[in-house]
Structure formats: structure tokens, C-alpha cells
Structure 1
Amino acid sequence: MDTLKLHSITYSDNGRKINYEYSVDANIQKLFEENESFYSKYQIDVSTTPESISVIPFLSNILPMAWFAGFTIEVDEVDEDFYQAQEKIKQEFAKRDTANSFEGTLVAKKLIKNSIEKSKSAMLFSGGVDAFATYIRIYDKTPDLITLHGADITIKDKEQWTDFTDFIENEELLNENSKEFIETNLRDFYTYQVELLLKDIGWWGKVQHGLALVGSIAPLSFVNQYSSVHIASSYTDHIDIDWGSTPEIDEKITWGSGFQVFHDGYELKRQDKVDLIAKFASEKDKRFRLRVCYSEKRTEFNCSYCEKCFRTILGLILNNQNPNEYGFKVDGSVYDKIYQILHIGSGSKGVKYFWWELMEKAKNVDTFFVFDDIETETRHMDEFRGGKVDRLLEEKINNANKGTNRIKFIIRNKFPWMQKIYRKLK
């Protein structure tokens, strides 16, 4: 079986950056960027972390690749609890992807039983609807808030990252929470060939992100003495969808004799979360911005003109809340713009479900926020209640050509120069 061997773990930048030196056999070299080794960088010195813990961020990203591609990972040592956990997580993916043999495995020379002192809780925080809903649910615990640079915002995008950290640091609601930021190239160290390990592309969302995000905080958990971390759910138990972050996956992750992961809000639909946010804001008489958009075309806090923005905006409208008080910039023309964007975009089972939730919410509310023209906006709302968006997305899903999308993806990544020429000609 082909092998990836981890040779060493070193620290730089005054102990803040963990560097991983590894080699891979020729047959699997195509999965890895030749000149970009995986790293994880923190704001504090993490060099006192035992090697069996500091290896976890690396393994949390490499292990799924090994399982799906069928290669062996060799390391000197790893935390014993994490080793047992990754075997259980592997079985969760095997249940879902029955066509895959999942022969890839982890081989460690030593399994180390660590014991981390535990005194604080943490939360992975992105600033969006899911994150704020979980934050509200554990508000009294005052968790440390941890955000990764390299997950939703690319490492090269310094401007958007600065905007985001300014938002986190200056949001009044979050004043009592300590903040930790991690920079990691977890989406850049592998090539597009990893996407092709799946029948349908979508490696980050469908496989990687749950284990990768949680695993990244292992060194911090040792230094900051975290007992647990909360990660907000993206989806709900009401929908069956392939996703890389679920209670079955996330809550099996552990290390250091008892570190716990809580996958929060899985019983809540997305609209339930928006309802929770609106209720909390009203009760506390506080308004706070929701960061739901990472569009490159964004010139404001959110672009207020993408599918994700629109579903959040409409969710707030249905709670009789003004979206402009939550980081958006819209008016009564928002309804026409929603249809414009949904016509242009592609459909998916997950997106259709989110808009179905909104339709059901709309059917059950008598009042909603009106910008200026109650008659026109009521007519738009009635059309939405009647299933106009639901039918549009159903049609897009039925007409989707996944084979063509896969071919387009390969061409874009194998011949990026063609994409640049195409953009110039448009």
C-alpha cells in the first residue's frame, strides 16, 4: 500500500507555527501540492504541546484522504484517545460511502495516554447564523471563540480577513469572550485530485471540514486547558445529506483523556436559528451583525446579493426584523433580486431544503417586516408562500447535469490558464 510518512514536527515564529515535514510515495503524489506543506499557526506559543497532540491538526486533514484514496500514514506517536477516535470516524464514513473500500490506515510507533488539565470551554466561531445561534445557546459559559483563517477566507485574502477580525474584536456582544485565531493552509496543501476521490465534487463540505476544524484546536486545548469545544451544525436531522460535520462524526473526536466535542443545534432547522437570534436580539435589546457572506464581490459587510445572504435576509424579515440592523443593505426590491439570483445559480438538495423552511415559516406568520410598500411586498410574500421559489429550485435539481459539472471542474483546475482567457473574453 502507498505510504505517507511524517518525518518531523518543528516550530517556528517563536513557537506559534507548527510545521510538518512529510514525504509521499509516487502514486499518491498527485494528491499533494508539491511546494506547499501543511502547517498550522497560532497567536500564542504552542511549542510545549506534546508531539502526540501537535500531530492532530495534521492527521485531521490527512486521514480522510488516506481513507478515500487507500494509503497508509506513518507517524512516530499519536494521542491514544485520538487514535481510537479516528477508527470510529472512519467507520462513520464507511457506512455512508459503501462503494469505497476504506483501506487507508494510520500506523503509529507509539500511542501516548495524555491528560490535559481542563478549565475552560471553547467554540468554533464564524460569525454567521449557525455560529451565533450556538453562541446564544451557550452564552452564559463565556467560551473562547476560535476562528480559522484558511477555511472560509483564503490565506491570501488579507483584506477580508482583517475586516473579519475587526468585526470579531469590536462586536460589543462578544466583548467578554477571549478570541483565538488560527492560520492554516488546510484547503491549499492538496490538489484538485482530492476532489475527484468523491463521485460528486465537494471534498471540503462533504468530508473534510468537521474533523479538520476541530482537530486544528488540539494544541490550543493543551495550552489553554480547554475541556470542550462547541461546533455549530450546518444542517439538521430533518434532512439526509452527505456532510462532513455531523454529531456522529464530530462527537467521536477526542484526545487528552476526555476532551469533548459538542455538535450543537442539530435538532434546529436554519430558520429556527434565525428565530432564536431575532428573539435574543429583541429580549436583550441588542442588534449585532451576522457575517454570512464571503463573496469576492462584497463591498459592504455582506454582499446582500447572494443566495446565502438572501435566505438570511428573508428569515429576518419573517421575524419582523429589519435586516439592515444585522449587517445587510437591502430595501423593498429584495424580492425581485432573490428570483434573479436563484435563476442564475445552481440548485442542490441542501439549498432547496433551506428555502422550503422559509416557505413553511412564511405560511405561518401573519406579520413580517415591510420596507416601504406593504401592498407590493405582501404580493411578493404571497407568491413565496405559494411555492414560487420551491418550484424553481426543484426544476434546477431535476435538470442538473452532475457529469458535466465534474468535467468542467477538472478542466478549470487542470488548465487554469483557459479560465483566465475565458474571463477576459466575457
Structure 2
Amino acid sequence: MSLEVTVTPHTRDENSTSAQLSLGKKSLTVETSASVPLDQSATPWLAPALLVAMRHDVSVTLPGSVDATALEGADQAQKVLNTWYPQRMRRVEVDATPAEPETAPDGRGVGCFFSGGVDSFYSTVKHLDEITHLIFIHGFDIALDNEDLAERSRRALREAARDLGRPLIEVRTNLRQVHARFGLDWEAHSHGSLLAHVSLLLAPHLRKVYLPSSFVAGELVPYATHPDLDPLWSSSRVDIVHDGLEAARAQKIAAFADNEAAMNNLRVCWYNKDNDYNCGRCEKCLRTMINIKIAGAAGKCRTLPAEVDLDLYDHTYMNSGGVESAKENLNVMKVMGYEDPELEAALRRAIDRPWLANELLHARKLASLAPEFVKFVWKQGRAQLGSGRG
């Protein structure tokens, strides 16, 4: 069995492209569009298609020709992914014709992915003299059907981009949903290939794209974006660069604490209760508020509360990421010479919290989400009945 990829160039709409990924009887279509014209070749589809093929241990066939540099890099990427996840990501054959190197158009710029988070603002401000474009993807961390939050985020990021003096390229894709239906884990396997896909689609405009790092050097783990993996998705026309390993999150905030575009538009929330831009109460918001406090920037961020409620932090469920962030904040307090005995004690309590106590907090959080889950199931059932599938 082979994963067959059919790319559909949009000759009448050069701002859109799509590909059908077919494996046996399952056939799903990925659609990606942007506010600028996109590369219509098969090359940008190599990384996302290869991930599906590796997950299902089948070869992959791509149409037409594919950039030779991208093919060579993808072979090395397979080695990395197979080493990290030997049971879930198998090395496979790629059936594609290497393309002759193309002459890239002159005057192309440098992009940086721009979600509005700590990592992306840090890389943007750090390389602002070099960066010519910022890139926002709807479908990456905001669900495609959540147009309300997406539009509010676009408005804020347009404002930030305008204040930074750089145009915002706006992208929309359903690749995350398609990858999920093929069984790919978003954090471990998938999201890096989505960023690579978008980077190569923007080849007509960009010669280099920065991928802001989620980790600091010395604390790297296998992850879908990683300094050992991201550059391997590059092509002869676009260099993909993993950036920001040198700084912890509090140090990153300290680097842009005086930048009004960043402090007026910072977006970090995963929970988004009531579709808030930042809820100010979830673990991700609280950890960022702690980052801001350690960075000496308390009260500067307009999108988060100025004060950290440590009692609320004590009663917030800590997943593995939350515990690691508490450890990072405890360490960076020493590195940056920030003294706050009350905050230090709260971070130690989060790290040392007994498993059962933490799981009880998790159960309480899930119970609070139950009404929303019931509503979701009801809506899905009604939709199926309405479409005649129920």
C-alpha cells in the first residue's frame, strides 16, 4: 500500500492550493490559502505527506517533481523521527522525481511565524532588522470553526505587525485536522511539518523563515519542532531556521518588555474560556504572568492581569508542561537574580505537589468543562441528523 498525494494547483486562485491524501479507502483533502500567492508545486506537500506515510508504514508517491534539496533533507528527517519514535514513525520510501534547482526571484524577504506568543515576539524583536514579513496561521492553535477568536487574534496581530512596521501574511489551513484523522500526534509528530508546509508555500516571497523555539538549550526533548529537525525541511529556495534556544521565557519577555507592540498584544492562552484572548486564569496564562513578574515587567502587559494570584496557582492542575515551566521559572529566578520568597515557595509547591492532589484538581477542571462537552456532543449529533448520516 502507498500513500498517494494529488496536488491541485489553483490556476485561477494563486492564493490557494490543495492536495488529496489517499491511503487505501481513506481519502482526505488538505486545503491551504493565504493573503499572498502560494507555490503551486508538490514540494510544500512533502513534509506533511511524509509524516502520514511514516505513521502508517507505507511508501509515499508525490506527483510531478519535488525540490532535490527538500528530498535530501526529508531523508535525514526520517532518520531523526524514526530514532525518536521507532515504533510509531517508520522509515519509508518516497517516490518523487527530483526537480532541477530553480532560479529564485530576487528581492525575497525573511519571515517569522507570529502567533502573538512569547516565543514569536522574542524571535521577531530579536531579528526585526532582518525580518520583512510576519506569518499568522489560522488552524494552528485556533480551531478553524472558531472565527470569533481567530478574527480577534488577527486584529490584534495586524495591529502588532503595523506597530512593528512589518506586513502580516495570513494563512488558513485544515492540515492539523487531516493529520489528526490519520492518527498523528500534534505535539510529538505533526505541527513542525505544518510550519514547514507553510514556509515552502511562501517561497515566492521568502528566502528564509524563522521558527521560534518552544524550549531552551539543555532542556530539549523529542518534539515536532526541534533544532535537529526543522532545518531538514528546507528547500533550495527557502531556509528554515529554528530560533531562540538561548533564552528561557522570562528572559525572552525581558528582551521585549519595552516593546509596546508586544506588551499590548501578547497572546498565550490555550484555555480561552468564553473565547477570551487570554483568560488570565489557566496554567499557561499564570505561568506567563510569573514570567512577566520575574522579567521585571509586572503591569506592562495589557492583555494579562498585572498581579499573579498565587492561591489560584496553588489550585491549578499541573500537566507535565506546567511542572517543567515551574522548574524553569525557579531556575531563571536564580539566573536573573530575582528574589521573591512567596513566589519561590509557590513554584516549589507546584513542583512537589502529590500526584493524587494534582489529579483531583484535574478531575475538578474536567467537571467544569462537562457542560461545554455536552453542548458539543449535542451539536455534533444535530449536525449528523441534519446531513442524513444519523
Instruction: For residue 363 of structure 1, report the CA deviation from its aligned partner.
Output: 4.8
Residue correspondence of structure 1 range 85-104 to structure 2 within 5 A: 85-99=73-87, 102-104=90-92
**Equivalent pair of 1:209/1:245 in contact (CA under 8 Å):** yes
Are 1:184 and 2:146 counterparts?
no
**Equivalent pair of 2:52/2:182 in contact (CA under 8 Å):** no
1:228 to 208, 214, 231: 208
Q: Label 1:336 to 1:310 Cα distance change in 2 as closer, same or farther (>3 A).
A: same
Unaligned runs of 5+ in 2: 379-390
- Residue aligning to 2:319: 347
TM-score (norm 1): 0.77
Are 1:390 and 2:351 counterparts?
yes
Are 1:381 and 2:343 counterparts?
yes
Q: Label 1:5 to 1:95 Cα distance change in 2 as closer, same or farther (>3 A).
A: same
Are 1:217 and 2:228 counterparts?
no
Instruction: For residue 181 of structure 1, report the CA deviation from its aligned partner.
Output: 0.7
Residue correspondence of structure 1 range 75-94 to structure 2 within 5 A: 75-76=62-63, 77-94=65-82
Q: Label 1:315 to 1:162 Cα distance change in 2 as closer, same or farther (>3 A).
A: same
Identity of aligned residues (%): 18
Instruction: For residue 67 of structure 1, report the CA deviation from its aligned partner.
Output: 1.3
CA distance, structure 2, for counterparts of residue 19 and residue 347 of structure 1: 36
**Equivalent pair of 2:113/2:211 in contact (CA under 8 Å):** yes
Q: RMSD of aligned C-alpha atoms?
A: 3.1
CA distance, structure 2, for counterparts of residue 176 and residue 331 of structure 1: 31
1:42 to 18, 34, 37: 34
Residue correspondence of structure 1 range 109-120 to structure 2 within 5 A: 109-119=97-107, 120=109
CA distance, structure 2, for counterparts of residue 68 and residue 398 of structure 1: 36
Q: Label 1:295 to 1:107 Cα distance change in 2 as closer, same or farther (>3 A).
A: same
1:63 to 35, 40, 50: 50
TM-score (norm 2): 0.83
Q: Secondary structure at the match of 1:217?
A: helix
CA distance, structure 1, for counterparts of residue 333 and residue 7 of structure 2: 56
Instruction: For residue 63 of structure 1, report the CA deviation from its aligned partner.
Output: 1.0
Q: Label 1:271 to 1:379 Cα distance change in 2 as closer, same or farther (>3 A).
A: closer
Q: Secondary structure at the match of 2:273?
A: coil
- Residue aligning to 1:309: 285
Are 1:335 and 2:314 counterparts?
no
Residue identity opposite 1:37 in structure 2: T
Kindly tell me the number of residue pairs found equivalent between the two proteins: 366
1:153 to 142, 154, 176: 142
Unaligned runs of 5+ in 1: 196-202, 369-377, 422-426
- Residue aligning to 1:273: 252
Residue identity opposite 1:16 in structure 2: N
**Equivalent pair of 1:80/1:112 in contact (CA under 8 Å):** yes
Q: Secondary structure at the match of 1:189?
A: helix
Comparing 79-88 and 96-105, the one that deviates more? 96-105
2:129 to 111, 135, 140: 140
**Equivalent pair of 1:42/1:181 in contact (CA under 8 Å):** yes
CA distance, structure 1, for counterparts of residue 148 and residue 18 of structure 2: 25
Residue identity opposite 1:107 in structure 2: D
- Residue aligning to 2:382: none
- Residue aligning to 1:170: 159
CA distance, structure 2, for counterparts of residue 127 and residue 296 of structure 1: 14
Q: Label 1:258 to 1:55 Cα distance change in 2 as closer, same or farther (>3 A).
A: closer
**Equivalent pair of 1:304/1:330 in contact (CA under 8 Å):** no
Instruction: For residue 188 of structure 1, report the CA deviation from its aligned partner.
Output: 1.3
Are 1:260 and 2:232 counterparts?
no
Q: Secondary structure at the match of 1:245?
A: coil
- Residue aligning to 1:373: none
Offset from partner CA, 1:81-103 (integer Å, 9 cap, x none): 11111111111112222345714
Q: Secondary structure at the match of 2:232?
A: coil
Offset from partner CA, 1:375-402 (integer Å, 9 cap, x none): xxx66325236x222212xx449988xx
Residue identity opposite 1:352 in structure 2: V
Residue identity opposite 2:330 in structure 1: M
CA distance, structure 1, for counterparts of residue 208 and residue 289 of structure 2: 32
Are 1:361 and 2:332 counterparts?
yes
Residue correspondence of structure 1 range 397-416 to structure 2 within 5 A: none
Instruction: For residue 351 of structure 1, report the CA deviation from its aligned partner.
Output: 2.8
Instruction: For residue 175 of structure 1, report the CA deviation from its aligned partner.
Output: 4.1
Instruction: For residue 80 of structure 1, report the CA deviation from its aligned partner.
Output: 1.1
Instruction: For residue 57 of structure 1, report the CA deviation from its aligned partner.
Output: 3.4
CA distance, structure 1, for counterparts of residue 90 and residue 338 of structure 2: 52
**Equivalent pair of 1:250/1:263 in contact (CA under 8 Å):** yes
CA distance, structure 1, for counterparts of residue 248 and residue 310 of structure 2: 22
1:420 to 363, 372, 377: 377
Q: Label 1:286 to 1:240 Cα distance change in 2 as closer, same or farther (>3 A).
A: closer
Instruction: For residue 71 of structure 1, report the CA deviation from its aligned partner.
Output: 1.0
CA distance, structure 2, for counterparts of residue 286 and residue 24 of structure 1: 43
Residue identity opposite 2:72 in structure 1: Q
